[in-house]
Each structure stands twice: as structure tokens, then as C-alpha cells.
Amino acid sequence: MNIELTEEHQKVVDEVREFATSVVAPAAYEYDTQRRLPMEIIAQMGKLGLFGLPFPVEYGGSGRDYLSLCLAVEQLARVDQSIAVTLEAGVGLGAMPVYRFGTDAQREEFLPMLARGEALAGFGLTEAEAGSDAGATLTNAHVEDGQWVIHGSKQFITNSGTPITRLVTITAVTGESTRADGSIKKELSTILVPTPIDGFTVEPAYDKVGWHTSDTHPLRLENVRVPEANLLGERGRGYANFLTILDEGRVAFAALCAGAAQGCVDEAVAYAKKRNVFGRSIGSNQYIAFKIARMEARAMSARMAYYAAASKLQAGKPFKKEASIAKLIGSEAAMDNARDAAQIWGGYGFLNENTVARHYRDSKILEIGEGTSEVQLMIIARELGFPA
């Protein structure tokens, strides 16, 4: 693995870092307080080509690669995790399923507007009783007069209720079969649901501890009807398809974690150098300097872990274990660094206007979203040959 970034990759880092510093950071506290997704900033991200980074030019993309997306997500996460996850989920969970498993017609219909950032898409997997255990999915769909008729509900769906949400991919039970032992096996498929559409209800947004700017809603589907051609991928392959999407998504999610961890380092370094107590900067205290050094080590470890996973992904090699390791290391680094940065900032680190305080609130979900830490440990152990 070459850990040196190419000139093109460094260009992505520099451009997105400048955008994050000059546009996102100054407005972050305002829209965090208002608990709204700033569509004006999302529009600027679209014009910069961020939503199309890993997609071919023929579909409105930038023709870059998956690492480019990860680098952009990392730079945004340094200053605002909500904006970073809007990009990460918009591409990884929203547009990527269409790109990976869609027909030519489905790609031509949806990918250009998603890649240009003119529209957003969500991935409707999680339910009240089905998250890590996707086999417990209750949302169901059957074919009637050439249409899929969908009934069910979904929870914690990112980018599902924005003014430009135009698509939600739904996992649903489309049939059942009986195993040799008499137990029932559910046939899980994925179906494209354009929005708005009759019977599709976006429930009020959640009152979350953090990620206040990120758009997250429960969804209700009652007699939603879409063309039979809206089946995404093969019927009955929904479970396998969403595992592929989650594996890829975890690499970009790990980049978000690394960005959050690094953002805490940046804030701690700046404050430790300017804050004077008893006639000298607090950074001259070895205890503070060592604490920040450990924070930097965590951030670099998180970055190297997602670089390794992205390298394997792009080389077409198995990367499931590496993705889970990157997500596990990154989320723990972000959470630990947020706690340490808040301690270094003292009382100021407890004020919501402070980037450190927002990282402290936001980082906990990194150990939960897109597969909990416990799920990552299970995957890593299984990849090492231990029982599932």
C-alpha cells in the first residue's frame, strides 16, 4: 500500500479543506442551533462535484475514485460531522446502490441528478426490530398488476426528508421459503422508491443528541406502488447487496471518524498554545502536551486504517475485515479525542458554540451508526476464523 497521496488526491484534500474552513466552519454553529440542513451549502458541495467524486463522467460524476470521496469526507468532518455524513450517506448509501446494482435505465434516470448534488437519496434498511439483524425485516412487498405494492416502516434514515430527496431504496420481504429444518427463510429484495409518492410518509425528524444538521427521519409506507422494474438488482439478493453497500460505506464512514478525530487535535493544539495559566501556555505543561500527542497518534492510526481499507477496495481485493477495523479504530479515536479535547478546553469546551463541544456530542453515534462497534468486532473475529 502506498500511503503517499497522488497529486490528484492532494488536490481534493486542499480544495475540500479550504471549503470546509471558509464556508462550512463559520456557519456551523448557526445551523446546528437551528437544527436544519443548510441547502445552500449542499448546493455548493454539488457544484464542487463532491457528490459525484467516485462516479464516471457519463453519469454526471467527477471520474475520480473511492479514496477521493473518503478524503473529502474526512476534511468536512474536521469541522462539521453533520455535513460530512450528508455527503458520506448521500453517496455511499444513496447513490452507490444504484451504481453498483442498477440497470442501465435506473442509472440513467437517477445517477446524474445524485452525482451532481441536485438530489439526495436515502437507504431504507433499519426498522424497529431490524438493524444488525436484517433478517427480522417486516416491511413487505408483492407484485400486483405490474407494480410492487409496499407496506412497512423504517427508522433512522439519513437524507430521507430533505427538500431535494428524490429517492429512497427500501429493503423488503418479497417472499418466503421453508428450510429443511422447517424454519422460514425470508426472501429480502431492494426496491427503488422515488419520492414524493402516494403512501410514502416522512415522519417528523428525530430530536438527536448530536448531528443536529443531518436530516434523519422515520418513514412509513402504506400501499406504496412503484413499477415492477424498480427492483434493484436480482430478486432475493437484497441481503447480499446491502452487505456489500455497508462494507463500502464503512470505509467512507471511517474517513469521517478520522476527520472528527483530527478536528479535535487541531482545536486542542490551537487552544493549548494560546491559553495562558500562571504565566505560561497550558501546552507547556507536559501532561497536556502528552495528551495531545496521544490524540494525534489516534487520528493518524484512524487515517492509516481507512487508507488501507480503501486501497484494497479499489484494487478489487477482499476488504471486509479492513473496513471493520477502520470503522472500529476510527470511531474510538473520534470519541476518545472529543473527550480529551473538551477536557483541555475546560469550561469553554462545554459551550455548544465551540467545535469541540459539537464533536463531543456528535462522536458517540460513530460507535453506533453503520454497524455498532460490537458488530465490527464480530466481523473481525469471523474473518479470523472464529464462529459467527
Would you state the cell numbers that stand for residue 266, as one nine-digit string? 487541531
CB 299 within 8 A of CB 265: yes
pLDDT in tens, 297-310: 999 999 999 999 99
Which of the residue ranges 2-11, 41-50, 195-204 would you say has the lowest mean pLDDT? Answer: 2-11
pLDDT score at 180? 80
pLDDT in tens, 274-325: 999 999 999 999 999 999 999 999 999 999 999 999 999 999 999 999 999 9
DSSP H or E segment with residue 278: none
Phi/psi at 206 (5° precision): -70, 150
pLDDT in tens, 181-199: 888 888 999 999 999 999 9
Phi/psi at 233 (5° precision): 75, -165
Residues 6+ apart with CB under 8 A from 240: none
| % of the chain with per-residue pLDDT over 70 | 99
pLDDT score at 178? 82
pLDDT score at 126? 92
Residue with cell 455548493: 44
Q: How far are the Cα atoms of 14, 16, 80 from residue 11, in angstroms, in the given order?
A: 5, 8, 20
Cα–Cα distance for residue pair 169/94, rounded to 1 Å: 8
Please tell me whether the overall predicted TM-score, pTM, comes out greater than 0.85 for this model.
Answer: yes
Residue with cell 452525482: 115
CB 365 within 8 A of CB 211: yes
Amino acid at residue number 309: A
The set of catalytic residues is 370
Would you state the cell numbers that stand for residue 29, as one nine-digit string? 454553529
User: Residue 261 region, left (φ>0) first, then alpha (ψ -120 to 50), else beta?
Assistant: alpha
Burial 152-182 (b: 16+ CB within 10 A, else e): bbbbbbbbbbbebbbbbbbbbbbeeeeeeee
**3-state class of 221 per DSSP?**
strand
Provide the 10 A C-beta neighbour count for residue 286: 9
pLDDT in tens, 47-75: 999 999 999 999 999 999 999 999 999 99
pLDDT in tens, 34-52: 999 999 999 999 999 999 9
CB 203 within 8 A of CB 220: yes
Cα–Cα distance for residue pair 243/250, rounded to 1 Å: 10
Q: What is the mean pLDDT of residues 134-155?
A: 94
Distance, C-alpha 51 to centroid of its chain: 13
pLDDT surpasses 70 at 2: no
Q: What is the mean pLDDT of residues 374-378?
A: 96
